[in-house]
Amino acid sequence: MQARRVFLQQLALGLGLSSMADYSFAADPHTSDVPVDRPLRVALLGLGGYANIVAKGMQECKMAKITGLISGTPSKIDTWKKKYDIPDKNTYSYENIEDIRNNSEIDLVYVITPNSLHHKFVLEVAKTGKHIICEKPLADNAQQAREMIEACKKAGVRLYVGYRLHFEPHTQEVIRMREAGEFGKIMHVNNYMGFTIGDPTQWRLKKALAGGGAMMDVGVYSLNAARYCTGEEPIWVTAQESKTDPVKFKEVDETITFQLGFPSGIIANCGCTYNFNHSERLHLMGSKGWAEMVPAFGYGPIKGKTHLGPINQPSVNHQAYQMDGIAACILQNKPDPNVTGEEGLKDMIVVDAVYESIRKGGQKIMINS
């Protein structure tokens, strides 16, 4: 298997939207011969739908293991501790999170709650001295993201965001080709992500829990991909919202299209939706070649091709690769991949601008740090 490439985030908080061009690569922990004394010991905070996917994926991890559980629902704790053999002393409620500071069997907490609870729980966990992974989007807005980064910095803990695709081999190959100049000058990017949302009573349709709708949930994929496809940071955005079901989507956005302008003159057309399926794609066009991935952002298998032919990379368990990649950073002192809190902040700055453009009738919004 080709060594898995992990991107180094070298920009410090406060530099805002400067270049993404400088990366370095770390060894794939799935092929590394570097031994570790023990796995990264992870507590899951929030035991909902995606936590189940993470937990299942982590059964394939070589360097990370679930050792703790945190939930506001006691019945979930009972079920999960039996399923994953977690002792009572490593289980916590939302009310006694501070007690994990004294638990030497937990190194890191993975926050997998509804979006609008990310800020609250990251601040609480940071005080315990445990490292943190927060599921995307990092926060409801850029200001919250800044506060989370600062709290972790003050506590001396690492903050990561759950951008699993930064560990996914097809995605990494496209970025490698772009950085190597194999596409020539990037001319245009077109990304879309969405699906038909189901249960109208779910938390994703409640602004108080979700922070927003399709843009917050799946629009971040289109946005983040536009950044890693160009290697640049956007300097302006225009955005439009359409809503075909004002009852179901009373509180949150249903479908948003947005355009990102980059310093080199590249324009990326992006979109996201909660109203239709079969819209998951990435398309990059350059002066010498192109890349297309369909599907591009889901849990897999990711499929793609370029002007040179199929992207021949392995299909992997995204959650296992993500957790082993982060474990390698913490346990083996590998360079931090491009999934730090600062990376999440950069996307939140743009998300804020998208919503501002919509409020102002599609007006072009200049993006500042």
pLDDT single digits (tens) 269-328: 999 999 999 889 999 999 999 999 999 999 989 999 999 999 999 999 999 999 999 999
Residue 262: how many other CB atoms lie within 10 Å? 19
Is residue 142 within 8 Å of 354, Cβ to Cβ?
Answer: no
- 221 tagged catalytic: yes
What sign for the dihedral angle of Cα 171, 173, 179, 181? Answer: negative
Question: What whole-number distance in Å separates Cα of residue 221 and Cα of residue 215?
Answer: 9
pTM of the model: 0.91
Strand partners, 121: none
Is residue 216 packed enough to be buried (19+ CB in 10 Å), middle (13-18) or exposed (0-12)?
Answer: buried
**251 SS3 class:** coil
Regions of the chain short of the pLDDT cut 70 = 1-36, 369
Question: What whole-number distance in Å separates Cα of residue 117 and Cα of residue 251?
Answer: 17
What sign for the dihedral angle of Cα 322, 325, 327, 329? Answer: negative
Question: What whole-number distance in Å separates Cα of residue 5 and Cα of residue 92?
Answer: 36
Distances (CA, A) of 120 to 99, 116, 215, 251: 16, 8, 21, 21
Residues 6+ apart with CB under 8 A from 294: 280, 281, 282, 303, 304
What are the boundaries of each domain within the chain? 170-314+344-366
How many Å is the Cα radius of gyration of the chain?
20
Question: What whole-number distance in Å separates Cα of residue 153 and Cα of residue 13?
Answer: 10
Closest C-alpha to 299, from 2, 57, 30:
57
Question: What whole-number distance in Å separates Cα of residue 193 and Cα of residue 221?
Answer: 7
Predicted local distance difference test score (pLDDT) of residue 335: 85
Question: What whole-number distance in Å separates Cα of residue 239 and Cα of residue 321?
Answer: 34
- 360 tagged catalytic: no
Phi, psi for 262 (deg, rounded to 5) = -115, 160
Closest C-alpha to 356, from 276, 256, 283:
256
Residues 6+ apart with CB under 8 A from 16: 346, 349, 368, 369
| Beta-sheet pairing, 255-261 with 267-273 | antiparallel
Question: What whole-number distance in Å separates Cα of residue 245 and Cα of residue 242?
Answer: 9
Of the residues 92, 221, 274, 321, only one is catalytic, namely: 221
Predicted local distance difference test score (pLDDT) of residue 37: 84
pLDDT one-digit tens code per residue, 3-19: 333 322 332 333 333 33
Is residue 199 within 8 Å of 313, Cβ to Cβ?
Answer: no
Question: What whole-number distance in Å separates Cα of residue 163 and Cα of residue 178?
Answer: 19
Is residue 248 within 8 Å of 273, Cβ to Cβ?
Answer: no
**11 SS3 class:** coil
Of the residues 23, 65, 130, 136, only one is catalytic, namely: 136
Single-letter code of the amino acid located at 327? A
CATH class of this structure's domain 170-314+344-366: alpha beta
Strand partners, 155: none
